Amino acid sequence: MTVTTSIDDDLLVVTLDDGDKNALTPEIFQAVIAALDDHRSAGVLLAGRPGIFTAGLNVKWMAANGREGVHRLLVDFGRCLMRLWTDPRPTVCAATGHAIAAGSMFAMACDHAVAADGGYWGLTETQIDFEMPRFGLALAAANLRADRREDLILPGARIDAAAAVEAGFADELAAPEEVLNRADSRVRELMELPSRAYAGTKARLREDAAAVVLAELDEDIQALTAHLPDR
């Protein structure tokens, strides 16, 4: 996986591109956190590669690293999501294709998400015999329609991008070739708003929920991974 960063007219652009499925590992989460911490900018744009945002966690890495590795992976992921969710700047996701499981969570952690028409979304953890971490549930509670939330999460439903927008995983649908342009336009619109009020209101909306997630994170992941083999 390559995580690249650039500054474009006071906008931090963070791009995930491994040339394949953008499968996520602890190093990716650490790189995203570092990008947010190290670059001063007025806004953040998180994007994937053409055709895919991310297919989720790297299951081969998880199988090779056992319970201890999966624990570290999920703790790092939770910290990364909460760091992104509470970033004081406007944050917009350009979901350039499929945004499965962890991909849907990354999109929901941003203030606005543009979904590429034809992509697939969903918190599909149940289908792979995995319980939903509390950080995923917190993001779902803040984004998904209440009348759809359990029907989508409990069976681990996979839905198309249009349905993802309707349900609340993402905020708008765009043709694949227009996703980056539309996300760029939206984040720049948000960057025009008074930054103090924007940051303060976001903190009021999210900081308490994020603090609960982080306080319980290690305990939650220990319980979630207890049944896994050591290696």
Q: What is the 3-state secondary structure (H, E, C) of 73-128?
A: HHHHHHHHHHHHHCCCCCEEEEECEEEECHHHHHHHCCCEEEEECCCEEECCHHHH
229 band by pLDDT with thresholds 50, 70 and 90: confident
User: Tell me, what's the pLDDT at 230?
Assistant: 82
Q: Please check whether residue 58 is in contact with residue 103, taking contact to mean a CB–CB distance below 8 angstroms.
A: no
| Residue-range domain boundaries for the chain | 2-191
Q: Are the beta carbons of 98 and 48 closer than 8 angstroms? A: no
Q: What are phi and psi of 88, to 5 degrees?
A: -70, -15
pLDDT at 65: 93
For the chain, the average pLDDT equals 96
pLDDT of 120 higher than 70: yes
Question: Considering the entire predicted model, what is its pTM?
Answer: 0.96
Q: In which element (H, E) is residue 174 found?
A: strand 172-174
Q: What angle is formed at CA 213 by the lines to CA 4 and CA 99, rounded to 5 degrees?
A: 40
With CA atoms as reference, report the closest residue to 59 among 125, 104, 7. Answer: 125
Residue 12 has pLDDT above 80, yes or no: yes
pLDDT over 90 (residue 123) = yes
Are 134 and 220 contacting, i.e. CB atoms less than 8 angstroms apart? yes
Alpha carbon distance, N-terminus to C-terminus of the chain: 23
CATH 3.90.226.10 at 2-191, yes or no: yes
- In this prediction, residue 48 carries a pLDDT of 97
| Residue appearing with tokens 């103090």 | 196
Residue 128's nearest CA partner among 95, 102, 166, 146 is 102
